[in-house]
Amino acid sequence: MSKQRFTEKQIIELLKEQDAGALATDLCRKHGISRATFYNWKAKYGGTEVSETKRLKTLEDENAMLKRLLAEQMLEAAALRELLQRKKVAPSAAHTAYHPLMAR
């Protein structure tokens, strides 16, 4: 059986069915998912609306992007520090070379 990707909206609708009284085992069988998947979804999406879920997804994406940018900046700063230590550059020249890069 091929994997089906459920959207957040579909997941929330499925959870609302369970809130309305449907049994979790029946829902899992009907939609072809495991009980573990169902309860993972319930832990993540339980009690949320579609708009909240979209906002959460947007924030998670933004957080991942910011983490990537931070990692790049940290690597760049470490490389510059290492380069400056190897070359034994005078402090005034080091400041001149380092300052424009950090202003980005």
Tokens of 36: 């573990």
| pLDDT one-digit tens code per residue, 21-62 | 999 999 999 999 999 999 999 988 887 777 787 888 899 999
On average, the pLDDT of the chain sits at 84
**Can you give the pLDDT at residue 45?**
84
**Can you give the pLDDT at residue 1?**
44
- Which amino acid makes up residue 85? Q
**Can you give the pLDDT at residue 91?**
67
pTM: 0.47
**Can you give the pLDDT at residue 59?**
93
